[in-house]
Amino acid sequence: MASVNKAIILGNLGADPELRYTSGGQAVTELRIATNRKWQGKDGNLQEDTQWHRVVVWGKQAEQCKEYLAKGRQAYVEGRLQTRAWEDRDGNKRYTTEIVAQQVLFLGGRGGAGGFEDAPPPPSDGDAPAAGGGISDDDIPF
């Protein structure tokens, strides 16, 4: 039986990319991307919903993201969904779901193009790894 695990998003970065290197020298960058949905509610008022996505980019593409992307910049991402589990400092099991990017396209100018200013700040993700809020070598599955 066939299955598909594919995610496609187009949104704006909520923070500058975080570039790190594994102990083996592999580049990895974490992106926080906001996507917005707008619709007219039953009462006739404009409604809006912002979703935040954690995106992990590996290798040369990770280094390019750090070089060319910045907070507010628009990006198109194709990848697969992955859920990771770990134990926090208190021994509680935590989970996070992220997009592992296979392709990242840089859109718009280097500035805050795309109306990101209207999006709320990213949540203080209690499911994020504790080490600096980013990816640590312990979070990488190999």
> pLDDT by residue (tens digit) across 17-74?
999 999 999 999 999 999 999 999 999 999 999 999 999 999 999 999 999 999 999 9
SS3 51: strand
Could you tell me the pTM of the whole model?
0.72
Q: Among candidates 24, 28, 35, which has minimal Cα distance to 129?
A: 28
Is the pLDDT confidence value at 123 over 60?
no
Percent of all residues in the chain with a pLDDT value above 90, rounded to a whole number: 73
Would you state the pLDDT for residue 97? 95
pLDDT value, residue 65: 96
- pLDDT classification of 109: cutoffs 50, 70, 90: low
Residue 111 pLDDT more than 90? no
Residues near 21 by beta carbon (within 8 Å), at least 6 away in sequence = 27, 28
Q: Say if CB 94 and CB 125 are below 8 A apart.
A: no
Query: The domain at 7-139 falls in which architecture?
Result: Beta Barrel (2.40)
For residue 108, the model assigns a pLDDT of 75
